[in-house]
Amino acid sequence: PSPPNILTTATISSLGGDVRSSIKIAGLEQSDDSGGSGGVSRGADVPASMYPDLAPPPRNKHAADAKEDGFVSSALVFEDKTSPTLSGTHVDATMEPMKDMVASEKQVVVEGLQDVSGEGGTGGTPPHKVHQGAGGKSGSVEQHEEAWDDVSSPIVGNWSRLIAKHYYYILLGLVATCIAMSVFVMYGPADQRCTPGATSGQMTVCDTTPYDWSLPYGNASLFKDAYLNAIESVEPAFKTLTGGDTGQVAERSASANDFAITWIFQHEDGSDSTIFTPKKVQAMCEAEAVVTQHPLWGYYCPLAADGSCAGQTLSAVHRFYATPQERKDCTLLSQGTVDARSAALMSNLLTSTNGYFANEGTVEGGYTNATRSMLQLGQPLKGFTGEEDDNDDQRLVYRMLAQGFKCGKDGKVPMHDSKFEGFDADSPCAGKSEGTEIVGVEQKIFDHFSMKGFPESGQFQGALRSAYFVKPKVELDGEGALRARFYAGMFQQLEFNRVVNGDLNFAILSVATVFYYIYFHTRSALIATASMFHIVISLPVGYFFYFNVFQYHYYSQMHILAIFLALGIGADSVFVYVDAWKESGKMHTIRTNAGRVHFALHRSAQSCFNTTFTTVMSFVATCLTPIMPIHAFAVYAAIVMSVNYLLVISYTPCIVMIYHIHMSDKGGCCCFCTGAGTWCKWQEHAEQDTVEARQRDKCYNCAWYSKGEANLPKPAAMHEESAIQRANSSQERETLETLLSRMGKVEHFMYERYSPLLMGRTPHAPFYKKPVACGVILFFLGYFAFMLSSAAQLTPPKTEELWFPDGHMHNADFFKRLADGWKGTADNQYIRAAITVGVDEMERPNYNWFFPGRERGAVTWDPLFDLTQPEQQLFFMSACDAVQGHACEGGGDSPCKGGRLVRSGQQVSCVVRDLLNRYKATTDATATTIPANAFFGVYKDYVNTAGEATQSQLKQVIGGNDAKVLWASITFMTSADAESLSNARGHHLKENLRELVDGLRGGAPGGMQSIFFTDLERPGGGFTWTEVEDALVQNLFTGFSICFPVVFVVLVFASGNLLLALYATVSIAMIVVGVLGAVQVYHGWDLGIAESISGVIVIGFSVDYTVHLGHMYKEAWDQPSREEKTRFALTHMGGTVVGGGLTTALSGGVLFLCTLLFFTKMGTLLVWTIFLSMFHALFFFMACCAVAGPTGNFGSVYYMFRVCRERMGFGKKE
């Protein structure tokens, strides 16, 4: 006889009248005894051996033949157990509703039940859909039976089966492979182009060059390289023309402006009195003597004609102490001597370099309460031919003065492969034993002012706190203290490297923070430890592919940021898998470990793929930038994110499976050893399949904790009767109420507090009866509008990009004071420019983007350029006059002083006019041009008879071979200060020069059409940096144009619903605008490097939580209304979203402790992104779903596709 609540066709036919009782049809349970909404829940499948008339046929022969131990038998594989998450389609009934069934006002209509009692019955399938009658709301609930125990699917199913059987082997294979790749990265062959002298280690930070942050194919970079290469390419001919060695810049005969040491001295109390008092002048002298009396100073100082160190014209100390001996002794001068020399220094402020030492408000003959002083270094160093000769090599040699070194064997100085010959004849290590340290100038200055960092010494000196946070000052008896600040490019580079390396130590703290949170969330130290291994190992494994497969050989400190990104993404993925695994343990329809792996792996593989793919695509969009360091970082981060995903779906399931077999009912050491507490237990007792797996697991049987297995409660044996008991059990998994008893506090809060608040207390209510949800939506839309207006005001930096915070010596105030507020500026602080003719184009045939300091290309000459032609000579000289008289105005954005392009009192260098004057002085005083047959002879004669200094200058403005002049240039000093050249001012100056050159080109004769301009600032500075800032902004909007369409497509496939995808995309747009708006509103930052990079990356990170919740909303197929779907999504995924968000925020928050502003900005933007993503996902997105979320087939992409196929005649209409 049929048991109660089990219906066959016969019993259904016999039903009549009101259907009120709880019914069970092969796992489908309807309970409607209180006028509820007719909720449907899935019960346990009825055993086929007990009820053969309801037994369905196997899904396929492969499933029927699957007899492997520990896996589902064929009798339990239902034909139509198809999940939308597996097949990607909704399953609807193919059979007409039964006409015989009589129902009252609450009618239950069962579709898809085949007749199994009559002839020809082939077995039954569970019903797919239950329609609610007139008593409830209209609509349908699709019931999707998910056969997770069926692991016959070709990819996820088979992989789940392999993990459930061979978890040890898979884990060992993955760990061994990852470790092997990591070892190869750490000890494999290095690229000498990246780090000269490195013998091993691919993951080595490359030496920085001024070209790293330049656009190699931008006009500013091409024009500057063309000018410099024009000089270099004709240098051999120039040497021959001048008699061999002449024409080569004499050793240290010029100033190396990029390496000068600049001081600012002022009163500590800011008093308005003269800074030049005897005691303070003496203190200044003692400070500069630290540099000038250093044992290495003689190898770097500018040289006088007699070979001694030349005087320093921009040193205030040299104006008071005239002789080298006086500057060495620094004796206290008399008041009269100081007053007299101070008065001389404060005269002719506008017509001499004296203005360099005086405040802007200083009057002629008055006093200044602060002063500047500069110690210049000489260039080129011995062994180099000029400033541009092997820039990278010379920069490393200059750095040795700042950093110091340890002596090598036989009194030699250990050098990289260098041209430098200064230490060959007279080594500073002569007579010193190996290992003797020559302390650098920077450390000597630290010692002089008692500036100490933390740690104070050793390899990691100043790593946690820089010495530059100590304000150097000198206490003077009877006077206020003298405050000193100093700067040099080589000091800043050392500090930058030191601070970056120190900041990276905080990655360890970030790892520890995330470890403890994973431990708290998963309640397992083993899972937390293994998860941290997989996250951290993804960095070297990703680098293995980055370096060896994709052939990216550039590695900078920026790449280390990937660890903070990987920590957030990796932890979030672990939470998704672990939470899904725990949920599978509460589903009585899953009876095997393979089924649990199948369920957890399927959910995490799909959900994490969506989030990982969008994050990777955000990095791919960032890759489109023409800025090499950002491009390389984005490629590396994308690879790391991909590796992290692959490990989540392969490594993490093995770890969880091992933990489940060994510890899930024991709780690890903390619970098992003490015998107290159940907090860290994942389940009370092992199930039958786990017991059987333990019996087969040799490692488990060898473990000491398995010996007490006999004392642990054993699960009840599985038999037919127990299935019925489970089907009728109140512990059924299918309802949220049942599951909630075994969920955490966050899930309880989402279900009991937040969901009712958001949705209101009335089921199926219209939107105007959901005031909280509507209010949330309106609030977020209003906030979005405000932030959009703020984000629209973002512009590139108005000042030079800063790297250090306010407390650091090299902060914004220092650089502003260094450049502004002075009566005059040193000549070398004004931007120099050149207008050049004769060069056709700049070609880079062997250029390698990742080693920008090498193989920068060569120029090709303009074949029409010929200075022997009178019209070209006249044009060149008219161009000189045009430059000299060109105006440069424009209000606050104009960098020009005095309204003129050329600095007041300066003349342009017009080499053709100089040659004409030479011809007029020696041949024809009335000539207006040089005859064609005489031009080259005049040129050779002029160069040969010029002095050495003039020859060095001529080399910068004209050049040719042994037959003709190939190029010429007009060089001049602009009135723009290089130190205060912001993006806006840089554009103003650049456009002013472009206007000038375009006007000249319009009237140029043939051969002069190739005219171009460039600044003569260091590579990477000047107009080159202006282009970089423009590229950052352009890349931001390019990233938006790529990422948002990609995100929308991913969301459509992830949710299967256009409406959900639209809500999610709008949420993501609001998050991006919110982050960029916060940059302007709360922090007052400009659109600099960190902001531009983060703007695109934000898109990838902001997708994660919205995708998770949207995925769960779709998975709520057994919830008939949008309110219940919303509650289902919040209850099942709310905890994961909160956990993942807090973990990522914690890992990014550690960046707040860093010194470098770039890192603190990135941390701030990351935290903003995470919190805004969490709030928009949990509030705005869920409110949209609660108010107007899709139900049934509304917005379903799969339904639309099916309808289109039917209308096109490709599918059978159902």
Q: How far is the C-alpha of 462 from the C-alpha of 1155, rounded, in Å?
A: 11
User: Which two three-digit tokens encode residue 764?
Assistant: 């199926």
| Segment 249-275, tens digit of pLDDT | 678 888 887 789 999 999 998 888 999
Q: What is the DSSP string of 533-556?
A: HHHHHHHHHHHHIIIIIS------
Residue 349 confidence (pLDDT): 83
Q: How confident is the model at residue 838 (pLDDT cuts 50, 70, 90)?
A: very high
Asked if 842 and 222 count as a contact pair (C-beta separation under 8 A), the reply is yes
Write down the residue that tokens 């045939």 correspond to.
845
Give the list of residues 6+ apart from residue 352 with CB closer than 8 angstroms, or none. Answer: none
CA gap 108, 20 in Å, rounded: 10
Average pLDDT of 22-39? 39
Please check whether residue 346 is in contact with residue 366, taking contact to mean a CB–CB distance below 8 angstroms: yes
DSSP state letters, 53-65: GGPPPPS-HHHHT
Q: How confident is the model at residue 128 (pLDDT cuts 50, 70, 90)?
A: very low
Q: What is the DSSP letter of 446?
A: H
Structure confidence at residue 93 as a pLDDT band (50, 70, 90):
very low
Binned at pLDDT 50, 70 and 90, residue 451 comes out as very high
**Quick check: 816 pLDDT over 70?**
yes
- pLDDT per residue over 691-711, tens digit each? 888 888 888 888 777 665 544
pLDDT at 480 over 50: yes
Lowest mean pLDDT among 132-141, 276-285, 316-325, 427-436: 132-141
Residue 282, pLDDT above cutoff 50:
yes
Mean pLDDT for 38-63 is 39
**Pairing of β 965-977 and β 830-837:** antiparallel
Q: Is 711 exposed, middle or buried (0-12, 13-18, 19+ CB in 10 A)?
A: exposed
- What percentage of the chain exceeds 70 in pLDDT? 80
Say which DSSP state 768 is in. Answer: G
| The residue type at 263 | W
**Torsion (CA) 289, 295, 301, 306 in degrees, nearest 10:** 110
Q: Would you state the pLDDT for residue 860?
A: 95
- Tokens 């403005």 belong to 957
Separation of alpha carbons 681 and 1010, rounded Å:
78
Contacts of residue 166, Cβ cutoff 8 Å, sequence gap at least 6? none
Residue 833 pLDDT grade (very low, low, confident, very high; cuts 50, 70, 90)? very high
Tens of pLDDT, residue by residue over 859-896, are 999 999 999 999 999 999 999 999 999 999 876 678 88
Please state, in angstroms and rounded to a whole number, the distance separating the CA atoms of residues 874 and 1005. 10
pLDDT band at 741 (very low <50, low <70, confident <90, very high): low
Predicted confidence (pLDDT) per residue in 343-383, tens digit: 999 998 877 888 889 988 888 888 999 999 999 999 888 88
Q: Is 1183 exposed, middle or buried (0-12, 13-18, 19+ CB in 10 A)?
A: buried
The pLDDT, as a whole number, for residue 802 is: 76
Of residues 605 and 393, the one with the higher pLDDT is 605
Q: Which residues pair with 255 in a beta bridge?
A: 378
* 958: CB partners within 8 A, 6+ apart: 911, 939, 965, 967, 968, 969
Please indicate whether residue 819 or residue 1076 has the higher confidence score (pLDDT): 1076
- What does the pLDDT read at residue 368? 92
Task: Give residue 835's identity as a one-letter amino acid code.
Answer: I
Diameter of the chain by CA atoms? 131
Instruction: Give the CA-trace dihedral at 1097, 1103, 1105, 1107, to 10 degrees.
Output: -160
Q: Is the pLDDT of residue 510 over 50?
A: yes
Q: Is the pLDDT of residue 40 over 50?
A: no
Other Cβ atoms closer than 10 A to 702 = 9
Rounded average pLDDT over 538-555: 94
Give the strand order in the sheet containing 129-132: 108-110, 129-132, 140-142
Taking the C-alpha atoms of residue 1033 and residue 1088, their distance in angstroms, rounded to an integer, is 8
pTM value?
0.75
pLDDT in tens, 596-611: 999 999 989 988 888 8
Interacting residues of 1156 by C-beta distance below 8 A, sequence separation 6+: 496, 499, 500, 503, 803, 804
What is the distance between the alpha carbons of residues 965 and 930, in angstroms, rounded to a whole number?
A: 14
Is the per-residue pLDDT at 386 higher than 80? no
128 CB contacts (<8 Å, ≥6 apart)? 80, 91, 92, 93, 111, 112, 142, 143, 144
- State the Cα–Cα distance between residues 702 and 408, nearest whole angstrom: 57
Gap between the terminal Cα atoms of the chain: 35
The CA distance from 1153 to 464, in Å, is: 9
Rounded CA-CA distance 1138/1134 in Å is 6
On the question of a cis peptide bond just before residue 236, with omega within 30 degrees of 0, the verdict is no
Query: Would you give the distance in Å from CA 831 to the centre of its chain?
Result: 33
Mean pLDDT of 70-87: 34
Q: Which amino acid is at 455?
A: P
Does the structure show a pLDDT above 90 at 544? yes
Q: Name the pLDDT band for 726 (thresholds 50, 70, 90).
A: very low
C-beta of residue 622 within 8 angstroms of C-beta of residue 1039: yes
* 1079 and 1085 Cβ atoms separated by less than 8 Å: yes
b/e map 502-532, b = 16+ CB within 10 Å? bbbebbeebbebbbebbbebbbbbbbbebbb
3-state secondary structure 984-1038: HHHHHHHHHHHHHHHHHHHCCCCCCCCCEEEECCCCCCCHHHHHHHHHHHHHHHH
Report how far Cα 696 is from the mean position of its chain's Cα atoms.
47
Positive or negative: CA dihedral 747, 752, 758, 762: positive
Whether the pLDDT of residue 1033 is over 90: the answer is no
pLDDT level of residue 409 (50, 70, 90 thresholds): confident
CA 1080/CA 1165 separation, integer angstroms: 12
Mean pLDDT over 643-657 rounds to 95
Alpha-carbon distance of 1141 to 486, in angstroms, equals: 43
Q: What pLDDT score does 520 carry? A: 83
The per-residue pLDDT for 668 is 58
Q: What percent of the chain shows pLDDT beyond 90?
A: 34
Asked if 976 contacts 831 with a C-beta cutoff of 8 angstroms, the reply is yes
Give pLDDT, residue 141: 40
CA triplet 1064, 1069, 577: central angle to 5 degrees? Answer: 45
Q: Residue 150: which pLDDT band, with cuts at 50, 70 and 90? A: confident
Tokens in use for 388? 């541009």
pLDDT higher than threshold 50 for residue 119: no
pLDDT of residue 669: 55
The pLDDT, as a whole number, for residue 739 is 62
Q: Is the pLDDT assigned to residue 649 strictly greater than 90?
A: yes
933-937: long-range contacts, CB 8 A cutoff, minimum separation 24: 933/868, 935/867, 935/868, 935/873, 935/965, 936/868, 936/960, 936/963, 936/964, 936/965
How far apart (Å, rounded) are the C-alpha atoms in residues 322 and 311? Answer: 9
Question: What is the number of other CB atoms lying within 10 angstroms of the CB of residue 113?
Answer: 24
Residues listed for the chain = 1214
Beta bridge partners of 1196: 1057
- Does 667 score more than 80 pLDDT? no
Is residue 665 within 8 A of residue 175, CB to CB? The reply is no
Q: Tell me which H or E stretch contains 641.
A: helix 628-648
pLDDT at 1156: 83
Is it the case that residue 384 has pLDDT exceeding 80? yes
pLDDT average, residue stretch 181-191? 91
By C-alpha distance, which of 384, 379, 388 is closest to 420?
A: 384
Assign 1100 a pLDDT band (cuts: 50, 70, 90).
Answer: confident
Q: Assess contact for 403 and 418: CB atoms under 8 A.
A: no
Going by C-beta distance under 8 Å and a sequence separation of 6 or more, which residues neighbour residue 861? 838, 839, 840, 966, 967
Please give the pLDDT value at position 740.
65
Please say whether the beta carbons of 275 and 342 come within 8 A. no
Would you state the pLDDT for residue 1149?
A: 83
When mean pLDDT is compared across 67-81, 149-163, 930-944, the lowest value belongs to: 67-81
Q: Are 1112 and 1129 in contact (CB under 8 A)?
A: yes
Can you tell me the distance from the alpha carbon of 1181 to that of 1106, in angstroms, rounded to the nearest whole number? 7
960-988 tens-digit pLDDT: 988 899 999 999 999 987 766 777 888 89
**Among the ranges given (338-342, 466-470, 732-736, 742-746), the one the predictor scored with the smallest mean pLDDT:** 732-736
Q: Which one, of 534, 641, 572, lies nearest residue 1109 by Cα?
A: 572
